[in-house]
Amino acid sequence: MGLNIHNVSVSYGAGISACHAVRAASLYLKPGELGVLIGPSGCGKSSLLRAIAGLQAIDSGDITSHGRTISRAGLLVPPSQRGVGMVFQDYALFPHMNVQRNVRFGIAHLAAAEQARRTRQMLELVGLADAGAAMPHELSGGQQQRVALARALVRQPEVLLLDEPFGSLDASLRGRLAAELRTILQGTRTTALMVTHDQSEAFALADTVGVTQQGNITQWSSALALYQQPATRAVAEFVGRASFLPVLVKTVQGKPMLCHALGCWPAPAAAKIGQNFDLLVRPEAVVIDATAPVQAVVLQRTLHEGCWRLMLQMADNTQLLAQAPLGLDCAVGARLGIRLLLQQVVAFEARRNGG
């Protein structure tokens, strides 16, 4: 049950000119779960949504929604028969219809009393119970997006797709609407998949987050796992902010360890003595400590969300991102003692000389 996407590939065009937008993508959402896809522009996120919605045929694999196959090679169930709703970034409201008529547009086949009941229920759910007579141009961007959400949910879809739903809104409104969206979807127990380029939005909303790169879903897991235990270096570099500390595998007390002047940590199982790795270091893992024997110089300092964001350079020219409280004396050029406090040890084979 739920939404199951198995080895789905999507391409546009044919032959040597074909553009492969999605490559063997797989993900699973349990009923009522909210998943979010993040990734750079052009990585296949929206193409995958279009395939789920039935707006794009797939080359291989299959898509199953709540136990029913809705797409595979040679099978394309029409969008109207999929039980899938979709909310777009540009709202796509009918400008000549008032809010009430926009919401009930997709349920015109129902009896008038049922149309009225569902429309009233949805407008109450999205906080627009008194706006039924208003025209779209009379509403703010946030209100228009609520109407678009109500119109999608009024059909009681098994799966709701959201393509950058807050992309045209300002930052403060995005955060508030994102929180409201999660509450609404939890209330309706709707399985939902959203695409966004905003990582903080994804982490705040999702039960599961997927990183999409060059048409592949390279990791599909919780936000915490993505941040602390990225599956690939590319995921580590894309999610959040990261530094990579060059370390060498040495034998310490009979065990292979990743070693640096800042400390030693357990080496990966397949590591060999003398092998070079790059240790993933998140800014919060760099602790400013005046008593620490290892020092670094502050190269850059910027104010960010109530703290200093620092770029530090060590004696071996390794640069580390760090964060510090505003009360700390950390002007550019200052020397600070540092140590590492790693919750998770994640290392990747070293990339040297641009490799």
Q: What is the pLDDT of residues 250-271, one digit of tens each?
A: 999 999 999 999 999 999 998 9
Residue-wise pLDDT for 144-174, tens only, equals 989 999 999 999 999 999 998 887 777 778 8
**Percent of the chain beyond pLDDT 70?**
98
Q: Quick one: how far is CA 284 from the chain centroid?
A: 21
Where does residue 127 rank: exposed (0-12), middle (13-18), buried (19+ CB within 10 A)? middle
Measured in whole angstroms, the distance separating CA 9 from the mean position of its chain's CA atoms is 20
CA nearest to 166, candidates 174, 175, 157, 158: 174
Mean pLDDT score of the chain, rounded to an integer?
Answer: 92
Kindly tell me if the per-residue pLDDT of 279 is higher than 70. Answer: yes
- The model's confidence at residue 355, banded by pLDDT at 50, 70 and 90, is very low
Mean pLDDT over 201-227 rounds to 93
d(CA 317, CA 314): 5
13-38 pLDDT per residue, tens: 877 677 889 999 999 999 999 999 99
- Per-residue buried b or exposed e for 65-97, using 16+ beta carbons within 10 Å of the residue's own CB: beeeebbbeeebbebeebbbbbbbbebebeeee
pLDDT of residue 42: 82
Counting Cα atoms < 13 Å in the Cβ hemisphere of 57 gives 7
pLDDT over 90 at 227, yes or no: yes
